[in-house]
């Protein structure tokens, strides 16, 4: 059964334990139908609920704690993301957007989205993005990284002297970890590159988050690019930050 803001039905379909539960949010019926067919064709995911807009989901958001919310909404809809995520605290939001909609990219990330996918991409890319975001990663197109980072860096801004002191507290190994995070490497890849265990990588990340006053890998990437701790490249089409 689906959530539909026109019908008032707000009972989500229960997926199997092995499936990724996806919530579709778009006010375009044809687009929603196409996305539903695409997602239901993937063996590891199902459409658990649908809605015309986020407003229809707010009152029952706690039912979508472990879901991926795939949303295609306007600026007003994005402004409701904090309310939705405040109730569905473990939900992951993936936003569909056009390649030239830079303002929406920045707003989406500020409001708590975990990923952005261009509508111009192939269906395979969308499916992969859903899988990655569900696994706890952040999905960004490489070509949108620069604009998103430029905007989000203002959220992380501080006095230059304070920033210099923060960076100075990093050990040489922690700087290496930050640089590799900037390349989009996962913990296991970083461990292999530095010949250390994944547990040690996690320990380093906990320390880095505390020293730089960032809350997650996404903020760490923004911080790293902004302050020269990692180099931005466009050699890969997308990056997933786990």
Distances (CA, A) of 144 to 11, 100, 186, 195, 232: 35, 9, 20, 32, 11
Cα 84 → chain centroid = 15
CATH number, domain at 139?
A: 3.40.50.2300
Same domain, 228 and 116: no
Give, for 106, the enclosing helix (H) or strand (E).
Answer: helix 102-110
Same domain, 147 and 166: no
**Residues 98 and 74: beta-carbon distance below 8 Å:** no
Distances (CA, A) of 62 to 65, 93, 133, 215: 6, 14, 19, 23
Cα 54 → chain centroid = 17
Same domain, 60 and 141: yes
Instruction: Read off the pLDDT of residues 111-132 as tens digits, 9 standing for 90 and up.
Output: 788 888 888 889 999 999 999 8
Higher pLDDT: 226 or 234? It is 226
Q: Which residues have CB under 8 Å from 96's CB, separation 6+? A: 26, 70, 71, 72, 117, 119
Computed over every residue of the chain, the mean pLDDT equals 80
Instruction: Read off the pLDDT of residues 186-204 as tens digits, 9 standing for 90 and up.
Output: 899 999 999 999 999 999 9
Q: Which residues have CB under 8 Å from 115's CB, separation 6+? A: 92, 93, 94, 95, 129, 132, 133, 137, 138, 139, 140
Most confident of 69-78, 149-158, 198-207: 198-207
The pLDDT of residue 205 is 95
How many Cα atoms are found within 13 Å in the side-chain-facing hemisphere of 104? 20
Closest C-alpha among 69, 106, 90 to residue 218: 106
Last residue in a domain, options 102, 122, 151: 151
- Strands, sheet with 115-118, edge to edge from the N-terminal-most edge strand: 45-51, 20-26, 68-72, 92-97, 115-118, 138-141, 238-241
Instruction: Read off the pLDDT of residues 7-25 as tens digits, 9 standing for 90 and up.
Output: 334 455 555 667 899 999 9
Same domain, 97 and 32: yes
Q: How many domains does the chain have?
A: 2
Secondary structure letter of residue 7 according to DSSP:
T
Does the pLDDT of residue 1 top 70, yes or no? no
Give, for 23, the enclosing helix (H) or strand (E).
Answer: strand 20-26
Same domain, 67 and 134: yes
The pLDDT of residue 75 is 56
Same domain, 25 and 119: yes
Structural domain contains residue 122: yes
Parent domain of 178: 158-241
**Residues 78 and 108: beta-carbon distance below 8 Å:** yes
In order, the DSSP letters of 131-174 are: HHHHTT-EEEEHHHHHHHHHHHTTTT---HHHHHHHHHTS-HHH
Same domain, 48 and 144: yes
Same domain, 87 and 137: yes
Last residue in a domain, options 119, 151, 183: 151
> Residue 5's pLDDT band (boundaries 50, 70, 90)?
very low
Last residue in a domain, options 96, 128, 151: 151
List of E strands, 35-188:
45-51, 68-72, 92-97, 115-118, 138-141
Higher pLDDT: 153 or 2? It is 153
**Residues 64 and 14: beta-carbon distance below 8 Å:** no
Instruction: Read off the pLDDT of residues 78-89 as tens digits, 9 standing for 90 and up.
Output: 778 888 888 888
């Amino acid at each position: 059964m689906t959530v539909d803001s026109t019908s008032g039905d707000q009972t989500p379909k229960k997926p199997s334990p092995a499936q990724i539960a996806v919530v579709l949010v778009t006010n375009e019926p044809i687009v929603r139908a196409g996305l539903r067919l695409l997602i239901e064709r993937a063996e590891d995911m199902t459409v658990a609920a649908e809605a015309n807009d986020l407003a229809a989901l707010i009152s029952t958001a706690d039912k979508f704690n472990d879901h991926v919310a795939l949303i295609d909404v306007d600026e007003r809809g994005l402004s409701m993301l904090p309310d939705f995520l405040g109730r569905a605290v473990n939900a992951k939001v993936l936003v569909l957007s056009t390649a030239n909609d830079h303002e929406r990219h920045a707003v989406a990330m500020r409001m708590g989205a975990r990923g952005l996918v261009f509508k111009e991409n192939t269906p395979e890319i969308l499916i992969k993005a859903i899988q990655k975001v569900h696994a706890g990663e952040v999905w960004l197109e490489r070509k949108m990284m620069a604009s998103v980072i430029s905007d989000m860096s203002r959220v992380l801004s501080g006095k230059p002297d304070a920033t210099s002191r923060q960076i100075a507290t990093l050990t040489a190994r922690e700087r290496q970890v930050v640089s590799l995070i900037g390349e989009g490497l996962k913990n296991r890849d970083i461990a292999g590159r530095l010949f250390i265990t994944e547990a040690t990588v996690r320990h380093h990340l906990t320390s880095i988050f505390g020293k730089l006053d960032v809350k997650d890998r996404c903020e760490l990437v923004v911080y790293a690019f902004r302050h020269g701790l990692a180099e931005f490249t466009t050699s890969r089409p997308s990056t997933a930050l786990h």
